[in-house]
Chains A and B, each alone.
Chain A
């Protein structure tokens, strides 16, 4: 895969994605974490600039500090290193829809220009071309967290004009649609990809490329998006990963690979 090939500057686009997503989490933030890319970014933040970030997973661990990344949302490592583990009903009612989450951190298979996410089905619901796992905890995270960050790889299969199924509501059809729907949270405030960072326009809520990662190009971002991508006039360049960020991320990934393979 060319996306993950080691470029001349000494880091991959996936590493750039995870590191720039991690930087979005401020220290002390209470973050409800999705599995996969969001989980890697949230734990990198905890291991670098945000030691007091509070990580919550939908299986019930609150304030978890895993030494290795979990393969599933409910790995024992999450429970063993948590401040407390609560039942599932409680994690969604008291903690999530109760309004105690600052940041919901999600991934997805498809995203549209208003940051609506699909993790349910590609194609028709009843005659799917690809049946994906479905919703899990994402719909309520997207609705109730005060803000939502999204991270996924940037390509035309993922960045589509219209998602085949709205699993988790972003800004719906744009503008003040979330407010009209009565949502508590602000919705997606940034989408971090392997090419750059997209943020919703303050008024229309259409995702706009506001930062391009060092090593990527605007042309590539436009070509990888299934709608005519708007580019901010004051486009910034994402700062390249520091040696510290890279070494912490690589150690985390190596520890994780070793432990998951070692269980055979």
Chain B
């Protein structure tokens, strides 16, 4: 469902990052993608280093608590493996842009970016005067991905999706997209969700796939914790191009699916 040249969003704010789906995009050799994510995290580092992307739209591009995303930096600083355009925002701006996309509005409105240098380098951040108070407010264009992909805890057999914990902008990302794909920890007979739980009804989701552990090394609340040790280890794997390529060849391109990836990883390190 992801095609070359698509604008895609793989969301999940630290929690529930759809790693399995990202790996499949890499295996399929997709090219020229515009990648949208608030925090590119390791998954976009892997997509960028694998040459899948021509542009990234983001608001915080580091390896949380560890340091740089080396593949993102190498692409921005040295055009490796391909030139990468960046459109840089902050979190509040991207959250507003996703909400606008979900609402089918042209732009998101916020009190933000004032006094910062971001608008000098991103011409899509603009300011408007409030017609009621005269206050200077900020607008950013709505995010409308061709495809949004998220990972969640559960779906029922009909395809209704339930998630909890840090839910980030996943609901907005799904509703803003033309097509939405959800991977889940498990498909169950009944969700038994509380009335105000975060549930995406089956008819706003194109496809649901069960991928146990599909957010590793990120986490799924109630299933497994964030593998902070792997996040630290990624700093070594990704620092040099050759080591990164060898790792991707062996564990991602050299495996058939996410289960294969996890098994392959278990053979060499104790992180899986």
Binds B, one of A46-54, A164-172, A221-229, A232-240: A164-172
Contact B110 A92 (CB under 8 A): yes
Interface residue A67 (Cβ < 8 Å from any Cβ of B)? no
Q: Quick check: which of A125-133, A202-210, A212-220, A246-254 contacts chain B, the rest being far away?
A: A125-133
A42-72 contacts to B (CB < 8 Å): 58-61, 70-72
Question: Which segment, of A2-10, A21-29, A134-142, A145-153, faces chain B?
Answer: A134-142
- Known A35-B65, A59-B13, A72-B226: A88·B91 in contact at CB below 8 Å: yes
Tell me if B96 is interfacial: C-beta within 8 Å of chain A. yes
Contact of A88 among B62, B168, B221, B230 (CB under 8 A): B168
- Are A131's CB and B92's CB within 8 A? no
CB distance from B15 to the nearest CB of A (A): 5
Contact string against B for A residues 164-185, beta-carbon threshold 8 Å, 1 for contact and 0 otherwise:
0111110010000010011110
Task: Determine how close the nearest CB of chain B comes to the CB of A111; give it in whole angstroms.
Answer: 14
Q: Is B62 in contact with A132, judged by CB distance below 8 angstroms?
A: yes
In the assembled complex, B256 has its CB within 8 A of some CB on chain A: no
Question: B227: which A residues are within 8 A, CB to CB?
Answer: 263-264
Q: Would B114 and A183 count as touching, CB distance under 8 A?
A: yes
With an 8 Å Cβ cutoff, the count of chain B residues facing the other chain is 60
Q: Which residues of B contact A88 (CB under 8 A)?
A: 13, 38, 91, 95, 167-169
Write the B204-231 contact mask toward A (1 if CB under 8 angstroms, else 0).
0000000000000001010001111111
Task: Report the separation of the CA atoms of residues A125 and B118 in the bound assembly, to the nearest whole angstrom.
Answer: 10
Contact present for B64 and A71 (CB under 8 Å):
yes
Instruction: Check A136 against B225 for contact (C-beta < 8 Å).
Output: no
Of A85, A87, A92, A134, which contacts B61 at CB under 8 A? Answer: A134
Q: Which residues of A contact B60 (CB under 8 A)?
A: 133-136
Determine the chain B residues whose CB is within 8 A of the CB of A139 once the complex forms: 90, 92, 112-116, 118
Report if A79 contacts B (CB, 8 A). yes
| Total count of chain A residues near the partner, CB < 8 A | 54
In chain B, positions 228-259 with a C-beta closer than 8 Å to chain A are 228-232
> At the interface, yes or no: B106 with Cβ under 8 Å from chain A?
no
Interface residues of B in 1-41 (CB under 8 A from A): 13-15, 38-39
Q: Are B91 and A137 in contact (CB under 8 A)?
A: yes
Given contacts A89-B95, A97-B92, A139-B118, contact A71 B169 (CB under 8 A): no
Contact B88 A143 (CB under 8 A): no
In the bound complex, do residue A59 and residue B168 qualify as a contact, i.e. CB atoms below 8 Å apart?
A: yes
- Check if B115 sits within 8 Å of A79, measured CB to CB: no
Least CB separation from B227: chain A residue: A263
| In the bound complex, CA of A76 to CA of B111 (Å) | 29
CA distance A139 to B115 in the complex (A): 9
Out of A89, A134, A182, A184, name the residue touching B96 (CB < 8 Å): A89
Question: Is residue B151 within 8 Å, beta carbon to beta carbon, of the partner chain?
Answer: no
A93 to B97, CA, bound (A): 12
B271 to chain A, nearest CB (A): 6
- A189 within 8 Å of B by Cβ? no
Complex-state Cα separation, A182 to B130, whole angstroms: 13
Residues of B within 8 A of A36 (CB): 65
B166 touches A60 (CB 8 A): yes
Say whether A1 faces chain B, with CB atoms less than 8 Å apart: no
Contact B166 A263 (CB under 8 A): no
CB pair A71 B110 closer than 8 Å = no
Q: Are A59 and B228 in contact, with the CB atoms below 8 A?
A: no
Which residues of chain A are within 8 angstroms of B219 by Cβ–Cβ distance?
76
User: Across the interface, which residues of B come within 8 angstroms of A133, CB to CB?
Assistant: 60-62, 68-69
Neighbour of A131 across the interface among B64, B68, B117, CB < 8 A? B68
A261–B271 alpha-carbon span in the complex (Å): 11
- Neighbouring B residues of A132 by C-beta, 8 Å: 62
With known contacts A88-B91, A89-B99, A136-B60, A79–B166 Cβ distance under 8 A: yes
User: Which residues in B have their C-beta under 8 angstroms from that of A136?
Assistant: 39, 59-60, 90-91
Instruction: Give chain A's interface residues, CB within 8 Å of chain B.
Output: 35-36, 58-61, 70-76, 78-80, 85, 87-89, 92-93, 96-97, 120, 125, 128, 131-140, 143-144, 165-169, 172, 178, 181-184, 260-261, 263-264
Q: Nearest 10 CB-CB pairs, A to B?
A: A74-B14, A133-B62, A169-B115, A72-B64, A264-B229, A71-B65, A135-B90, A136-B60, A92-B92, A89-B95
11 contacts between A and B (CB under 8 A): A60-B167, A74-B166, A76-B226, A88-B167, A131-B76, A133-B69, A135-B90, A136-B60, A136-B90, A139-B113, A139-B115
